[in-house]
Amino acid sequence: MGGGIGGLLTGVKVSGLCDVDVFEEHHLVGYPKHCTGLISGKVLNFLGCGAGEFVLNTFNNYTLTHTSIPNRELRLKFRDTISLVDRPNIERYLSDVFQSRGGSLYLSLKAVAIDASNTCLIFEDGTIRKYDLIVVAEGAKAALTKSLGMCSNSTYLVGMQSIIRANNDLDSPHVIFGCDISYEFFGWVVPIDSKQVLVGLADRYVDYPKLNYLIKSYLSRRLGINDLVVKEVFGGLIPTSTPCRQALRNIIGVGDAVFVTKPISGGGIYSITNQVRVLEESLRRGGTDYASKMYLRGLLNLLTTLKIQHLLRNLVINKFGSLSNFVMKLIESEVNEVTLLDYDKYILNPLDLNNLLKSLRALLT
């Protein structure tokens, strides 16, 4: 249930194992637009061979900067290529694949409640549909998973971004820290191509004047990119809570509906692909009667990884006051380049990790 990437990818991967219906409350898939769309090669491969057609740009590093020390930067390098994808078109691609495999997609139909004891969906028009298994992929508001008691104590950031037409020669995304940009998170500038950039930020509260300040202060003054034309503005909620209960009887949550967003970057597609892979394996091995139990066991690695990331983020914030302050201290230190061996799990090159620990010890003394 839910015609975003979580619901559609689930439908694609399990449609050969059972009959699948996907319900989307909007009149089309890929709407509303809200995601930046930076993913690893592993994630791109799991989305299917056709997803490669919607890669807009590729990168091997990010440039991290802090507004208080604008002339210095930290280069975050990757062992594998990172892709910027057109997420709305990937969702439309998944929709086509899902329906070609016999799945049924229902648009403009919103589920408002779930009868957990009978595994039934209840819709706005009063109709009720019973299923052997319900997958909830409703997005960050998580109204249904909260009503079932699967999620509570939810906290969010607000992400807002804009596609801007501007000539540029950027070869990597820029990640911008600083309290004037974001108290809780950071801002970003991602080159789509030589004629367009994606500019955004996330914080506890975000409005267009705040986004416009980032555009002017960083694109115009810092990078010297002028003659800017704002093409569109979009955004959405980013869950920052630790993962909540992933399954209840034969009801399974996927994506933002159960808070599996990566706490350091805010990305969610990596977790969704892991959830869908585990669900597919569970259905192959045990069918719908045992899917939830097998699913929970299969998610252990993902949930452990996310909880460790939350722990690390909290430790950094408790010690330095904010993620922004931590990055500023790193940039001020001798560290100017770090290599990630795994983009999704934040696994560092051992030599870089050793240098980073030395710098941290110096910062903490």
- CATH number assigned to the domain comprising residue 251: 3.50.50.60
* Domain identity same for 31 and 93: yes
Instruction: Give residue 294's pLDDT.
Output: 77
* Domain identity same for 27 and 149: yes
pLDDT digits (tens, 9 = 90+) for 32-77: 777 889 999 999 999 988 999 999 999 999 999 999 998 899 999 9
Within a domain: 325: no
**Residue 168 in contact with residue 56, Cβ under 8 Å?**
no
Within a domain: 45: yes
* Domain identity same for 167 and 206: yes
227: left (phi over 0), alpha (psi -120 to 50) or beta: left
For residues 8 and 216, what is the distance between their CA atoms, to the nearest angstrom? 37
DSSP 149: T
Number of domains, the chain: 2
pLDDT digits (tens, 9 = 90+) for 189-235: 999 999 999 999 999 999 999 999 999 889 888 888 888 889 999 99
Within a domain: 206: yes
Q: Please state, in angstroms and as integers, the Cα–Cα distance from residue 50 to each residue in 91, 267, 309, following that order.
A: 11, 22, 31
pLDDT digits (tens, 9 = 90+) for 93-144: 999 999 999 999 999 999 999 999 999 999 998 999 999 999 999 988 899 9
Instruction: Give residue 363's pLDDT.
Output: 63
pLDDT surpassing 80 at residue 361:
no
Last residue of a domain, one of 197, 223, 239: 239
Last residue of a domain, one of 195, 213, 239: 239
Output the pTM of the full model.
0.93
- In the chain, the percentage of residues whose pLDDT exceeds 70 is 95
Q: Which domain holds residue 270?
A: 5-55+83-154+241-309
CATH number at 194 reads 3.30.9.10
Instruction: Give residue 54's pLDDT.
Output: 95
Cα dihedral sign for 100, 36, 144, 46?
A: positive
* Domain identity same for 126 and 202: no
Residue partners of 244: CB distance under 8 A and separation at least 6: 145, 150, 151, 152, 253, 258, 259
* Domain identity same for 275 and 188: no
pLDDT confidence bin for 289, thresholds 50/70/90: low
* Domain identity same for 115 and 255: yes
Last residue of a domain, one of 199, 220, 239: 239
* Domain identity same for 97 and 11: yes
Helix and strand element counts for the chain (H, E): 10, 18
* Domain identity same for 223 and 248: no
pLDDT surpassing 80 at residue 180:
yes
* Domain identity same for 147 and 287: yes
Instruction: Give residue 359's pLDDT.
Output: 67
Helix (H) / strand (E) containing 138:
none
pLDDT surpassing 90 at residue 262:
yes
Within a domain: 330: no
pLDDT surpassing 70 at residue 298:
yes
- In the chain, the percentage of residues whose pLDDT exceeds 90 is 68
